[in-house]
Structure 1
């Protein structure tokens, strides 16, 4: 069974994910991804590290290995429980999706070059709406919390997570093998960082482009209402629909690194715009 590893270069400036069944495969893939010279440099640095003051360094290693058995070693000073720590981890991922969306939208032509800054205003309004929804759901902090309600968490009551399989599959082909419990040990918590919350409808390839299409419709006054199917010059974006696709289990599945398919997914988002009449109950009016 392949396991996921994180490998860094000698300067610790570049980090890559590698799935391998054994050390030989790990070395070969690391060489290929980092480059032969970089891998040799890393090996030389390791050799130099182990050739001096080995006795003292071994004592330090023993200290940390012993500490690794302590159930609280996974916690930072600001965290009192494992559940709090894991909730923080998922919130970090959600913030990452938000800022990825924000960066892409604010780098678009319509944001930078629109007349009178109208495109900028429309995108900023959408981002405010999206952020407010995310805040109201507390960044889905329950997803990794084993003590949360059963329907609100991805793991079981012990903290065991199971891979959801490829984005297009109903379940993991490695059933019983792609499982992990980051609550159990520090080592599993580190490996858990290589597991991905995979967007079935991809964020960069589909969701963000469709958001920009929706913004462009508002900007040009060419809106097709998704509810009444009528055309309109004024209206808004149903941010809730994009929230579901970016941040929730409606479009996310937790997957082992082996099951994280990075090619193009054959699934599309949509242009979720509403006319002014249908949009009346929303929190922000786009005009």
Structure 2
């Protein structure tokens, strides 16, 4: 099975959507019957010259829309973000600004001031915000939209339960690693200039395994997640880094600042290793499985609080 495969567009009823770029500088209206058609029309209206197949579409909450069936569930006039290759959908400052706005922090007077405030010493401010959250557990065990409507308020999703929504976000995160991996491989000199390596890489069976290894729960029975600590430590040195996104909307939003951290790094180590094996013609099935496990499973991924996410070289 190849990294890339053709999916025939599924045609649904004509609906209108709002589409903006990652900088929120322009917003257009698009009427379409499928995700494929939306990408084509949005690219034309926003003067995007990239191949629509290279374009990603996101909801405002960061959910990736990558399936026609999922796209068909969106309500008319949903606002969508068009992302070109190499662009970032949300900055940390954008995300935290929204978080603080949701929990009614007084000093948010102007967006620019908030962005400047959050850009400096970002990790410490997240820690302060986490400690300030309400820890009322009275609705944590509630699951459905009817039981806890404020948890779902503002989420552009048709998911009926908290579990379904967070499962979808988990899928989005892992698929994001897949797309970044594919983009890095395709932009490499090895892929562009070495036909033998390109053939090996194109035959790699990676995406088929993703759905099979995404069902391991990282939270306890109440939905609480604990930080696993910096990549080169056995556990979180703080011991207090924990969060329950099922408890409240505020914690759900703040949970987006937590990250998966590759102990063996994806871009600096794993992808170069895959390219090296492919260029030598020695990338066999066992190598691909090993690289897959290190890219997409908890064998090499640890869930970390932003304070424990070390973005420097892991050596």
Change (3 A) 1:31 1:247: closer
Report what 1:153 is aligned to.
217
Structure of larger gyration radius: 1
1:133-182: CA deviations, max 9, x gaps?
A: 21333xx1x3xxxxxxxxx2111111111111111111112212x11111
TM-score in terms of structure 1 length: 0.59
SS of the residue 2:223 aligns to: coil
Change (3 A) 1:259 1:118: same
Change (3 A) 1:31 1:236: closer
SS of the residue 1:83 aligns to: helix
Asked whether the 8 Å contact 2:219–2:225 carries over to 1, the reply is yes
How many angstroms does 1:118 deviate by? Answer: 3.0
Q: Would you say 1:257 and 2:296 are equivalent positions?
A: no
Alignment of 1:197-212 (within 5 A): 197-212=260-275
Higher helix proportion, which one?
A: 1
Q: Would you say 1:93 and 2:93 are equivalent positions?
A: no
TM-score in terms of structure 2 length: 0.54
How many angstroms does 1:27 deviate by? Answer: 6.7
How many angstroms does 1:28 deviate by? Answer: 5.9
How many angstroms does 1:121 deviate by? Answer: 1.6
Report what 1:82 is aligned to.
162
CA distance in 2, matches of 1:71, 1:31: 28
Asked whether the 8 Å contact 1:74–1:82 carries over to 2, the reply is no
1:179-227: CA deviations, max 9, x gaps?
A: 1111111111111111001101110011001011110110xxxx4xxxx
Q: Would you say 1:133 and 2:196 are equivalent positions?
A: no
Report what 1:215 is aligned to.
278
Please give the root-mean-square deviation of Cα atoms over the aligned residues, in Å: 3.3
CA distance in 2, matches of 1:30, 1:235: 46
How many angstroms does 1:72 deviate by? Answer: 3.7
CA distance in 2, matches of 1:203, 1:209: 9
Report what 1:195 is aligned to.
258
Report what 1:118 is aligned to.
196
CA distance in 1, matches of 2:292, 2:275: 15
One of 217, 225, 231 as aligned partner of 1:167? 231
SS of the residue 1:95 aligns to: helix
Report what 1:16 is aligned to.
91
CA distance in 1, matches of 2:115, 2:265: 31
1:244-264: CA deviations, max 9, x gaps?
A: 101111111111111100111
